[in-house]
Structure 1
């Protein structure tokens, strides 16, 4: 019956004329269209605190309700065809590739069990975070996060205070570590697709990244050492597992390589073959990538021994939470991105005007903060594109004459995704896995307090040193 109702909704939206796609004119919208998006963000922030039981059982319905709060009025005012076009575009061009990639990384990384008597000392925890920071730029922040979060939590299973370990993991591995290559984070991959050289980012924001990662690792070590000494943790784990360090399900490393290869292939392979699905163009490289990722996911599930999943306490709960919440985010964000794309002529024109100096030249510091603040609450990939285009959109000019501006956009889109749980997809996924393992994580605003105290001062310092 549910499938029937959803089918009827899609049929209503898929009115005749749906195949004629039209760019949503953000200048014709009012800020009221941002209410469903803001409502969904507020729900994610406060409902787990005010109504935890209701949220745990019905967060998917809440996400769907806010999505309908945008889609239905939009269909009434602009017509079912326009609503259908935007719905299909959001699902096919943005949400489906996003969730397919996350599912592949979640499944493959979840099929690798790092065994051994890992003892969560400050030195080991800091070492794992440092390794994750390096891996994130080569296998993506999601891949590195899914590979390392479970052994990190297991290593700290005898610690009293461990939420801070996961918070810094999100800062370092799930976000900032992915800032050096297009494989690391979706915004940089979009820049690569737009013509930014593969190694341009590592050549231009390496000092900022090294400073940020080095400082965060130092802060974490001192904080974790303080907690460790305060707890009086025994040097020997009272519940040790296998002492020999090794990998079970290691065949999944090859599948992880296949995931990286498929993503890279979709960026390098140029094909004129495109399929128009209800007004949305689906390119052959992207289609091959997504089909390949689905195949990799199925292979991983087929060949991974059940014992490996049991040892990892692998479950689909975290993936389901991300999928349901981000479905609502990808739909309700449609008018917000359109209004930003409208530039100075749109409702958010003041934001766009604020990044330009009186002489008409872009202001790197303002680009850094405008891109970063929006990336903290919106999807950082389209936010990157908005400011990439605001700065002119010509990759050759941005890589040379306006290199400081592109560096500011690139750095902030990745760095400031760590400011909130919804700034980057792995954040919410890591939180869900940690909570599933019994770690009491900070609330939405509690996490923002951590990022405000630890990250914001460092971002201010980065602005003063590199982007002023």
Structure 2
């Protein structure tokens, strides 16, 4: 999930509970959480918007309490603490730093949301995402896109394609772009392996999506015939908030450093955690505080910055992380777990791995689960040897990588910046598709694209 998942070095697995001891029934709280996000805003919007945090906590409790009964209070507590310490707290600390610093970068100047301008913004964001990560690129560029299209009535499609490209597919060229690739890097995959081996798939998807987007936006422009605001003199494009640009660079450095500097572990309330992760969380919080201190309130106001989006993500993803832990544990159990039937699909009758199955299974699960541990599950199913996977198994590794990164765009919760973009856009008064509505967009535009990717590459 985003750059935030770069901090994860292990799958999200129950700390004291083996995945082969869990039935698929333990996935029900996670399913309930997903359905709440999807349905309650539509059928009980007032209730959801005022109490979504309580509802999310309720689904987490419906997992933890039965775990305590079935496996004992200590095992349940260890499960929750494992998820919070090793996954959620690093995730939200990094997300907070990127959100705060990204919200302090203001692109001034006259940007008019014509089809050409919008397509150019999406293209730039897609390229930048592999350098500063999908979350960083999304947080820096979503507000300029919103302002550029403020005068238009038909603009929802621009933000949907922004999620497709900038928040997901754009992160596929380096380990900095998206967490699964960083985890592969930590496991021994060469830094530029993804650049050379995923570039064709990346270019194929980006060119087709940008072309489709330009066509849709051109049709919308022609039908709407919008009147751009008056020019008001020359107003060249320029960046304000360079201190925050530097802070985003510092975030990238801290993330990379955690893959290099690993001085050992400490134990906190019975859970071992790498010292580099503790230092990383402290650094991210310090960067967020520095951004607040260094950014004038007028700049954030001009950028339309508010704290509501990050608060919503923090509450919902806390419950998502807890409730999806048993699902990931079951997957990691492989043939010994309740998902053995799915695992068996990855090999043919002769025992040889099937690339397109790896692409679709890693992708389909990454659409709703954390794509970082999902990537590791299939990385290990494919043998887990980076040298072999980069060589004779290159097609399998490419399939796993593309599935985990590309298909995070299939739902709002497939990747953290998806939900953040939705929340930021809605804060500005723009209506975004519902959960199922967004999935319908993905079904229409992404699934056919991924079928093409399957036939062309896998």
Matches of 2:89 and 2:384, distance apart in 1: 26
Q: What's the counterpart of residue 9 of structure 2?
A: none
Q: Cα deviation per residue 1:359-393 (whole Å; 9 max; x = unaligned)?
A: 11211100000000000011111111111111111
Q: In the alignment, what sits opposite 2:198?
A: 205
The residue that corresponds to 2:383 in the other structure is: 392
Q: 2:278: which partner in 1?
A: 287
The unaligned stretches of length 5 or more in structure 1 are 1-20
Gaps of 5+ in 2: 1-13
CA contact (8 A) 1:33 1:336 kept: yes
How far is 1:232 from its partner? 0.5
Task: Give the whole-Å Cα distance in 1 for the aligned partners of 2:148 and 2:128.
Answer: 19
Give the secondary-structure state (helix, strand or coil) at the position aligned to 1:285: helix
Q: Name the structure 2 match of 1:17.
A: none
Q: Deviations over 1:383-426 (max 9, x none)?
A: 11111111111111111121111100001100000000010000
Deviation at 1:246, TM superposition (A): 1.2
Contact persistence 2:15–2:82 (CA under 8 A): no
Shift of 1:22: 5.1
Q: After TM superposition, which residue ranges in structure 1, 4 or more long, deviate above 3 angstroms?
A: 238-242
Residues 29-108 of structure 1: pairs in structure 2 closer than 5 A: 29-108=22-101
Distance 2:16 2:200 in 1: 39
Contact 1:117 1:240 in 2 (8 A): no
Cα distance in structure 1, aligned partners of 2:148 and 2:226: 12
Contact in 2 for aligned 1:106/1:146 (Cα 8 Å): yes
Match of 2:121 among 128, 133, 156: 128
Tell me the equivalent position of 2:153.
Answer: 160
Q: For 1:22 and 1:268, locate their aligned partners in 2 and report how far apart those are by CA, in whole Å.
A: 25
1:7-28 CA deviation, whole Å, 9 max, x = no partner?
xxxxxxxxxxxxxx95421111
1:24, 1:337 → 2: CA distance? 12
Write the distance in 1 (CA, Å) between the matches of 2:368 and 2:15. Answer: 26
* Cα deviation, residue 345, structure 1: 1.5
1:411 to 402, 427, 432: 402
Give the secondary-structure state (helix, strand or coil) at the position aligned to 2:367: helix
Q: Where does residue 237 of structure 1 map in the other structure?
A: 229
CA distance in 1: counterparts of 2:432 and 2:91, whole angstroms:
25
SS in 2 for 1:276: strand
Q: 1:239 offset after TM fit, Å?
A: 8.5
Instruction: Judge conservation of contact 1:398–1:406 (CA < 8 Å) in 2.
Output: yes
1:299/1:66 Cα in 2 relative to 1: closer, same or farther (>3 Å)?
same
- Verify: 1:118 aligned to 2:111, yes or no: yes
CA distance in 2: counterparts of 1:361 and 1:398, whole angstroms: 13
**Kept after mapping to 2: 8 A contact 1:70/1:332:** yes
Q: Using the alignment, how far apart are the partners of 1:239 and 1:95 within structure 2?
A: 46
1:439 and 1:242 map into 2 onto residues whose CA distance is: 28
Matched position secondary structure for 1:247: strand
What is residue 267 of structure 1 aligned with on the other side?
259
Could you tell me how far 1:244 is from its partner in structure 2? 2.8
Aligned with 2:143 (options 126, 142, 150):
150
| 2:320 is aligned with 1:329 | yes
Counterpart position of 1:13:
none
1:219-250 CA deviation, whole Å, 9 max, x = no partner?
0001100000110112x315979823212212
Q: How many residues align?
A: 445
Contact 1:115 1:242 in 2 (8 A): no
The aligned residue for residue 220 of structure 1 is 213
Q: Higher relative contact order by CA 8 Å / sep ≥ 6: 1 or 2?
A: 2
Aligned residue number for residue 245 of structure 2? 253
The one of 324, 338, 361 equivalent to 1:347 is 338
Whether the 8 Å CA contact 1:33–1:335 is kept in 2: the answer is yes
| Corresponding residue SS for 1:144 | helix
Contact 2:374 2:404 (C-alpha < 8 Å) held by counterparts: yes
